[in-house]
Amino acid sequence: MSWRAQPATVRWIATLTALHLGAGAVAVVVWVATGSLFWILSYLRYAGAAFVVGLALAEALLSVRAFLGFSRGDALRPAWLLISVAASARLAGFVLAEIFSPGPGLTGPRFIAQPAPWLPLSTTHRAGLALAGPVALLLLSPALALVGRAYDRHGLSGELRVMDWLALGVASFLMVNDTWDGIRWTLAREAPLDLYRALGFVVDPLLLVLLFQALTLRRAAQTMAGGLIGRCWSAYSAAVFLTVLGCLGQWAVNYGYVPRPVAVPTWFVWFLVSAAFAMGPAYQLEALDRVRRGLLPSGWS
């Protein structure tokens, strides 16, 4: 599908993301060249917050509209309901974390709850991270399971290939390390296990389940490669894959496994996650809107 043939909403999201990442690259260059933190801090705090909140709002609205396109009894209606609630949780989480209680200093965005290390975050910020992270993912997982089952019923389920199993193996190894580091840190400091930190411990196993679902869904969506429906579920698959990458990057930075310069790209992964999550329902809605417009001549835009 060429750029012009892409749905207008998807083109908007892609353009906005490219501009935002370009601005971020400029801010990083200014930071490195001058040593001044002003531009990079302003970018992360204001432009970054506006971007993730804006795209989460778009994602929530598009998901709800996609959900409304389904009738009672439709196979994917419950899936779109769960996706809409998950998108609303992400929006509420980002509003709480990024607008009402921005994080401290030059840390980059943290979009997911983690059990450790202890970070000086307000209760509002932690509630936001919990909503946008584990709560949204807990809602997304059964939704993807329903979609996978729908593909399965049509004999379109995708089989995982060697590369998929390899990715799952590597992710599992790193996630186990992440969890183990969290447990060690908690035991060493006798940190209390509150709800936020408990949810942080749920993230890793949940992401592994989601990664398996996303890889399976990607293979299934390839049976509809080039179509709007296939692209919708490929976008969700990419969003989950990028979330896993972002989470692993966050772990590696928090525990000092990678030096600060390497940490910078991990900040930007979260913006791509937001874009991918918004593109999923955009494709679905375009598919529904096309049907609403009637049987158009092919190539009609």
Nearer to other proteins, 260 or 292 (CB): 292
If one asks whether residue 3 binds other proteins (CB under 8 A), the answer comes out as no
Of residues 56 through 95, those in contact with other proteins by CB under 8 A are 69-71, 73-77
Closest distance to other proteins from the beta carbon of 70 (Å): 4
Closest distance to other proteins from the beta carbon of 141 (Å): 20
AA identity, residue 176: V
Looking at 228, 248, 263, 275, which residue binds other proteins (CB under 8 A)? 228
Mark the segment that binds other proteins (CB under 8 A) among 31-39, 163-171, 203-211, 218-226: 218-226
Helix (H/G/I), strand (E/B), else coil: 180: helix
Closest distance to other proteins from the beta carbon of 216 (Å): 16
- The CB density around residue 147, as the number of other CB atoms within 10 Å, is 24
Helix (H/G/I), strand (E/B), else coil: 78: helix
Looking at 169, 227, 256, 265, which residue binds other proteins (CB under 8 A)? 227
Tokens in use for 57? 């709002």
Residue 24 has phi, psi (to 5 degrees) of -65, -40
Closest distance to other proteins from the beta carbon of 226 (Å): 4
Closest distance to other proteins from the beta carbon of 4 (Å): 10
Taking Cα atoms as reference points, which of 148, 161, 85, 99 lies closest to residue 128? 99
If one asks whether residue 8 binds other proteins (CB under 8 A), the answer comes out as no
Nearer to other proteins, 90 or 231 (CB): 231
- Give me the helix-helix angle, 77-94 and 123-130, nearest 10°: 160
Residue 294 has phi, psi (to 5 degrees) of 100, -175
| Alpha carbon separation from 92 to 56, 97, 109, 242, 247 (Å, rounded) | 9, 9, 16, 21, 20
Under the rule (CB under 8 A), what is the footprint of other proteins? Answer: 69-71, 73-77, 150, 153-154, 156, 222-231, 287-288, 290-301
